Amino acid sequence: EKLQLVFFHPGFAFRDGKERMGGEGAAANFARRSPVPMINLLRTPQVRAAQKGIPTGSVYDTNEKNLASVGSEQLQEMLHRCEWSALEGRTYLPHQTRAAIESAANR
């Protein structure tokens, strides 16, 4: 079975050309930050099965918006303290399914 590696690091920053290093979008970097460096092993067949239901680009966009709603300063503080209780009770945008996205596009 094939595996995919996903890397997490306390100082992770996307390198996609967006303004994310302290400006707008900085909170998105926390999608791949962790208190200590680590590697997540994902089984490729399971990843592909999940991607059939929710488009990857939609996942990134939704995660970025949800992280921005918390804010990079609060996320950094939580990461530093390894204390996540500030996330409890918050409302987040749901991930849209591929079918919902395609249905909206056909209207």
Give the pLDDT score at 22: 58
Q: Beta-carbon neighbour count of residue 46 at 10 Å?
A: 11
> Pick from 70, 57, 77: which is nearest to 16 by CA?
57
Give the pLDDT score at 69: 93
Average pLDDT per block of 10 residues along the chain, 107 residues long: 92 71 75 95 91 83 92 93 95 87 83
Structure tokens at 61: 């966009």
> Pick from 40, 97, 22, 93: which is nearest to 64 by CA?
93
Give the pLDDT score at 24: 61
Give the pLDDT score at 66: 94
